[in-house]
Copies of this chain bind each other. A is one copy, B any other.
């Protein structure tokens, strides 16, 4: 009898966690495990704001997948998954196709531009290592151009961040630390640099504790960030953005750099494959299977699960994706063993820390509010924990974040 073939799409937090747990639970005589990923490396999505701002080198935010998986048990295929043909139990890749007995879709999120004109063309999104490197270089290039042009263009030194959610705020936290160094390197008076954060919602970091939000906002403002809250971006142009002001007025903010960090959606493979979805996210069963598909699990940012207490979906976070991965691996192991008794995902909230640069942060950890250096220390612990859970102590040692205050 042929071993069942388990295909995991995506080596992000959810996918890698699934594979690591499958490795432990299943012997190579019990199942064939295939991991499909676009790159031969995993990157820390939650650290990309640092690579984008230039405060962490792009190589620090990634590691080779082959260094954390058991190559005797797991086959790694470098490919882009384009579509799942569920009726044929088959995945279409950009360089071939792959059949499966069990499928895990762990492909992560994509930026959501809500149909705002020009954003796709003229704004940059913090989506992956390539995008982060491009953002870093784009900003530095504008600074480099400033003094070498005969006609001085102030907009070279204006950076607009669309969105004051987690990603937007964490990026701003890094940016305000990076700017003084860039100014020194490129002989630019820091007063000429303008950083504007535009957020359509009426508040910064919606859902976060108001006292902590106040702390974060005051800190970023003291370092030069202008907040335009309750303000919608109407359009992005080659010259900057157009925002709404009052009822019908608009205002142009000229800026050579526009970062869009205001929203994510599920992966487009979800729509391409015909799953019922809301913005690329599938309302999965609590055993993490797609409704109507007994052998297809959808985890991480593409899975939509309602938090009954708050009566709204859980946000797409690394913490949740990793917990999905654990449950998903267990359920597949059960199915392979012939059991239909599957586990249910229950979110174990370990808290949430939003960094504000190298040595500051805000957060709720074990139900307690933290801010400043304590919170920053906790944030690094959170980041190291993700490394530890996937790659053990050696990965923490290689890629971990340490700071001795």
Contact = CB atoms under 8 A, between A and B. Distances in A.
A372 interface: no
A20 interface: no
A144 B59 CA distance: 13
Interface string A122-148: 000000011101101110110111011
Interface in A54-70: 57-59
Interface size bucket, A side? Answer: 20 to 34
Nearest to A58: B185
A186 B59 CA distance: 9
Contacts of A39: 187
Given A58-B185, A185-B58, A185-B59, A134 B145 contact: yes
28 contacts: A39-B187, A57-B185, A58-B185, A59-B184, A59-B185, A129-B187, A130-B144, A130-B147, A130-B148, A133-B144, A133-B147, A133-B148, A133-B185, A133-B186, A134-B144, A134-B145, A134-B148, A136-B144, A137-B137, A137-B140, A137-B141, A137-B143, A137-B144, A137-B145, A138-B141, A138-B144, A140-B140, A140-B141
Given A59-B184, A137-B137, A137-B143, 16 more contacts: A39-B187, A59-B185, A129-B187, A130-B144, A133-B148, A133-B186, A134-B144, A134-B145, A134-B148, A136-B144, A137-B140, A137-B141, A138-B141, A140-B140, A140-B141, A141-B141
